[in-house]
Structure 1
Amino acid sequence: MRRFPTYDELHRTVRAVARAHPARVELSEVGKSRGGRDIFLASVGKGRKNVLVLGGPHANEPTGFLTVIHLAHLAAKHPEFAEGLDVTWHFVPCMDPDAMRLGEGWYGAPRTIRNYYGRFYRPAFVHQPEWSFPVDGGFDRPLPETRALMSIIDDLRPNLVYTLHSADFTGHQFMVTDAVPELVSGVEHAMARRGLPVHTAPSDGGTPTVGRTATVAEYYQLLSMRFTLSLRTGGMLLQLLEGAGANGENAVRNWFDFRCAQMRHHFPGRALDLRELTALQMEVGLAAARCL
């Protein structure tokens, strides 16, 4: 696909992958959006370690939709990328279906500033599923989409959660919950091989980024938030703290977030086409899975 998929195209394509590999791909509905749209999970492989891949955390960051399609197809067609890593891949193609539907107007248009901001949609902060996990002191009314993610996390107890963000005009950023030197070096190598810049300034309220890891405690300290934290859960934007799971359990062992720049203009260095962007997110996700 030479452009970002629409909501209908994304789900139609993931279902086609499942139909083509019925013995390896299982689809299950895990919830409904506020607008009544399905939120479903595509599970690929039979490994012992669960990797949860979250597409579409924000409607204006659609690169991850392509990554979900291609990574799911890769794992379904080539068992060495699933059982060969002792991994079962679990994909939520889109975390916020309603926002995706409202924001898809520019997906097929040239990636220009005018097209992007002229058709831009991103819900208000309190209406973003990634930001409404229940924590002590706030976020006490999780959205239906958030509750669906909470139930997935409680059921899977994933070894790794990989959120597929994009950035508009910065370089590339990555954050991990724990110090994993081989992952950091692997991502930096992937950048260097492509001649890509790595964003070196803090992002999202001052969160430390490249060349080291950012703990959840550091993240909340920078935002002047005071919560009881577990240092082995959490991540860049989605906070999985004690009590965040639907069953009140700490269910995630590693959180990894990677952002790649998706716009063609004001990009420090060369701009990537969609194939390269998708390949980069896939390579980083596979590198993280190999570190489990």
Structure 2
Amino acid sequence: MRGPDAYPTVSGVAAAARVLTGRHPDLCRMRLAGESRAGRPLWLLSVGHGRRHVLVVAGAQPDAQVGGATVLLLAEQAVWDRRQLADANLTWDFLLCLDPDGTMLNETGPAGRRPSTVHFRHAFRPAAAERPEWADAFRAPGDGLPETYALAAVIDELRPVLQCTLHATDVGGGGVRLTAELPGIAEPLGKFAAELDIPVQTATHEALYWDTPGPGVHVLPPGGVRRRLTGEPADATGSTWHRPHRHGGTTAVVEVPRWASRRIADPAPHPDPAHAVSVLAAGLRKDGSAVSAALDRTVGLIGRVDDPLLRGAEQAVGEFEGMADDCEALVGPCRVPLTMAHVWALDIAARRLSLHASGMLLRLLDETCGYLEDDPNAEPSRLRARLDRRLDVSARDLISASDARWVPVGAQAELQARTVLAAVERVE
């Protein structure tokens, strides 16, 4: 049983969508848009009969579980305000979960609000080549993921004027990343965030070089301009974010936090950014070495198993060095003057990398060596104990250092839904 402050499950979102369709068959319909790698259904819920389509994608990022709550909120709002829906000549299309396989791996552990240690102990973040939105940037032609093919087919069929993909961050604030500018979106974002007492994230390491027309809004710059840190897995133009541009549309990536930190909203110039990023780089190399050693020991114990948790951990471990290099590169000439928010965004990202890697390694050890947990002298038990201590201390430090507080799931979903509605209002 999931409590009132819990993310809905993949099956729960689909069941609620079926109930909505059954109650309003004149306006709502559900159909299968494809299947996941494991054969799970990819459900598309459509509301309205207008010629202009808005596509909302939940579950593209498996650990962004709030997306399921957000699509249900938006769908119910569309049904309730059906006159406005008709006047706008609009159809809402909700892909209820793009990556159900990965999302269900995040449904383990206790439901509802949980301590940061417990959250990271059960979090799953897949390897870049296994993330449906990004897979085509890493995989050979003809070797794409079925989820990616399904999303691309939906975009080409519906030709949406706007695609909204629903993301989340562990610690930070609300924000929007755009593949093309939507003038005026910063104002409602700031208003909604203030009303819900959620800070707006003025800086993010993932869009350090993007244009910033307003607080919390980052717009992909034109070709030929630097768009990302070198350690980032791929450029946004290689993702499904860019596919609506083939049909004259654009994409808004709407992000909300689990734990809110006002430190990432501070636009003041950092007093000593060179020292700050140098310290971050040193910490990344130290943590990366420790987690890499834990990965090697885990593989030595369980073998190179065919498991998404192992591939996700390897992805995280492989990003430490590149991120450290990026931090050191920011010491020299940098197009972006680093603010307090920039440095905190980099700090939080560095801490999360270690937490995600440690959490996935622990889950692998639980899966394969759990039968030895009663023997504290067994090598898997000793390794698991060390990883547990590292994760517990690091998770607590992240929340304490960033002065973060839990955001109720309802508030997360409301900020995301209201931001999506504001984006739709600004589409020509």
Provide the aligned length of Structure 1 versus Structure 2.
Answer: 277
Q: Give yes or no for contact 1:240–1:250 (8 Å, CA) kept in 2.
A: no
CA distance in 2, matches of 1:207, 1:239: 20
Q: Secondary structure at the match of 1:221?
A: coil
Equivalent in the alignment of 1:150: 152
CA deviation digits over 1:80-134, x for unaligned, max 9? 4522433210000101011112211147142321221111112211111011236
Structure number, greater radius of gyration? 2
Distance 1:218 1:275, change over 3 A: farther
* Residue 194 of structure 2 is aligned to residue 214 of structure 1: no
- Distance in 2, Cα, partners of 1:222 & 1:98: 30
- After superposition, residues 56-75 of structure 1 pair within 5 angstroms as 56-75=59-78
Counterpart check, 1:272 vs 2:407? yes
Q: How does 1:140-179 map to 2 (within 5 A)?
A: 140=141, 141-179=143-181
Query: Aligned residue for 1:258?
Result: 254
Q: Which amino acid aligns with 2:169?
A: A
Choose from 70, 91, 96 the match for 2:94.
91
The C-alpha deviation readout for 1:39-89, integer Å capped at 9, x for no partner, is: 121010122211000001122110111001111122123204522433210
Supply the RMSD in Å over aligned alpha carbons: 2.8
Measured after TM superposition, the shift of residue 273 of structure 1 is: 1.2
Specify whether residues 262 and 76 from structure 1 end up closer, same or farther in structure 2 by C-alpha distance, changes over 3 A only: same
Say which of 278, 281, 284 aligns to 2:416. 281
Q: How much has 1:218 moved relative to structure 2? A: 6.2
**Which residue is equivalent to 2:279?**
none
Separation in structure 1 between the aligned mates of residue 83 and residue 403 of structure 2, nearest angstrom: 35
| Aligned match for 2:119, one of 116, 119, 138 | 116
> Structure 1 unaligned runs (5+)?
226-233
Stretch of structure 1 that moved more, 177-186 or 54-63: 177-186
1:193 correspondence with 2:198 = no
- Distance in 2 separating the partners of 1:221 and 1:138: 23
Specify the alignment match of 2:356 in structure 1: none
Q: What secondary structure, in the 3-state scheme, does the structure 2 residue paired with 1:197 have?
A: coil
SS of the residue 1:133 aligns to: helix
Q: CA deviation at 1:192?
A: 2.8
Q: Does 1:55 find its partner at 2:58?
A: yes
Aligned counterpart, 2:385: none
Equivalent residues of 1:65, 1:93 under 8 A apart = yes
Percent identity, please.
Answer: 26
Instruction: State the distance in 2 between where 1:262 and 1:218 align.
Output: 33
Contact 1:171/1:268 (8 A) holds in 2: no
CA contact (8 A) 2:32 2:41 kept: yes
Partner of 2:183: 181
3-state secondary structure, aligned to 2:53: strand
Q: Quick check: 1:31 aligned with 2:34?
A: yes
> Contact conserved, 1:183 with 1:291, CA < 8 A, in 2?
yes
Instruction: Please tell me whether residue 126 in structure 1 is matched to residue 129 in structure 2.
Output: yes
2:185 alignment partner AA: L
Given that residues 206 and 229 in structure 2 are in contact (C-alpha distance below 8 angstroms), is that contact kept between their aligned partners in structure 1? no
55 and 236 in structure 1: CA distance in 2 versus 1, 3 angstrom threshold: farther
269-278 vs 90-99, greater mean Cα deviation? 269-278
> Residue 196 and residue 21 in structure 1: after superposition, are their counterparts in 2 closer, same or farther (change >3 A)?
same
Secondary structure class of the residue paired with 1:154: helix
What is the match of residue 228 of structure 2? Answer: 223
State the distance in 2 between where 1:11 and 1:268 align: 36
* Residues 57 and 280 of structure 1: CA distance in aligned 2, closer, same or farther (over 3 Å): same
**Match for residue 12 of structure 1?**
15
Taking a change above 3 Å as real, the CA distance of residues 198 and 218 of structure 1, as seen in their structure-2 partners, is farther
Q: Distance in 2 between matches of 1:283 and 1:81?
A: 16
Secondary structure in 2 matching 1:82: helix
| Residue 286 of structure 1: how far off its partner (Å) | 0.9
Q: Determine the C-alpha separation between the residues in 2 that align with 1:45 and 1:194.
A: 29
